[in-house]
Amino acid sequence: MDDGRFEGRAAITGGAAASSEPHILLIDDVPEDIRATIILLKQQPWRVSLASDALQGYQRALALRPDLIVLDVHMPHMNGFSLCRLLREAPATRQTPILFLSSANSSMERLEGLTVGGVDYIPKSCAPEEVLARIKIHLQLTWRAPPAMPQSPADPEPEGDEIVLRAAMRLIENQLDDMPSLASLAQKVGTHEKRLTAIFREHLGMTVFAYIRDARLRRGQDLLCESAMSVQDVAELVGFRNACNFTTAFRQRIGMTPSQFRQHALGLVETESAGRA
């Protein structure tokens, strides 16, 4: 199985897909500077994603539509103020709270951060506990859990193994790039490796690892169609070590490379648009 690089508990969900826990995107080119804050955030019941430069952060923000963004100022190629302006113009992130967390802490810089659309400006010298407290405040002010989808009366209530299966599938979908071991995955849904493996084989006809691979490739297809992220970035987000492994698995399953798939998908969209014109 291909293991993704650490990005907190980054759960790669379908764009603005509803979730029962808030999703936070951290954008910082030197994540070591805020490692203590990242560790503290990981201990919360939240989903956390990380981007290492402004462009990557912009693309991930549009694709993942987080509930809150924590943004550095001094980054190469594009600073945080410029990125904030872009995020404030994009419909997908226009209402997303943006908190600056930066070592750039002059009065002029703080004022600019608030002027371009930040809801808070936090010096990196602040204790991680204070950063966490401020994030909690803004989540309380803006985030609301989506209402539960009513189940059709005709649908039978899941029970036993099916509940375990659904819980495991949801956990997998929410942690594609930070997948726990099979033993840990089984433990998180209240069972053990052998039983979880048997449940997947009985209900889905595949192993847990095969399901994870399929889920990663499905989400990879969505991101290729819905975003402008590079193949390398998509590969990392869905849990592959590198673009080569992702490309190989993608070609084996889909019959074309990720780049070819994106070109084909874009071609279909352009053809359909022309037909409606």
In a domain, 10, yes or no: no
User: Looking at the structure, do residues 35 and 113 belong to the same domain, yes or no?
Assistant: yes
In a domain, 100, yes or no: yes
Separation in Å, CA 87 to CA 7, 18, 112, 116: 21, 20, 15, 10
Is position 229 within any domain?
A: yes
pLDDT recorded at residue 189: 84
Please check whether residues 125 and 208 belong to one and the same domain: no
Q: What dihedral do alpha carbons 234, 239, 243, 245 form, nearest 10°?
A: -140
Segments forming the whole domain that contains residue 165: 161-272
* Span 218-266, pLDDT tens digits: 999 999 998 889 999 999 999 998 999 999 999 999 999 999 999 988 8
- Position 166 scores a pLDDT of 87
Residues 46 and 97 occupy one common structural domain: yes
Q: What is the mean pLDDT of residues 169-187?
A: 89
Q: Do 74 and 41 belong to one domain?
A: yes
Please report whether residue 9 resides in a domain. no
Position 224 in a domain: yes
Confidence of residue 35 (pLDDT cuts 50, 70, 90): very high
- Rounded to whole angstroms, the Cα distance separating 211 from 189 reads 16
pTM across the whole model: 0.70
Interval 155-174: pLDDT, tens: 565 667 888 888 889 889 98
- Comparing 9-13, 97-101, 204-208, 268-272, the range with the smallest average pLDDT is 9-13
Calculate the average pLDDT of the chain. 85
Domain count, the chain: 2
17 occurs within a structural domain: no
15/6: higher pLDDT: 15
d(CA 173, CA 12): 7
User: With 90 as the cut, is the pLDDT of residue 133 above it?
Assistant: yes
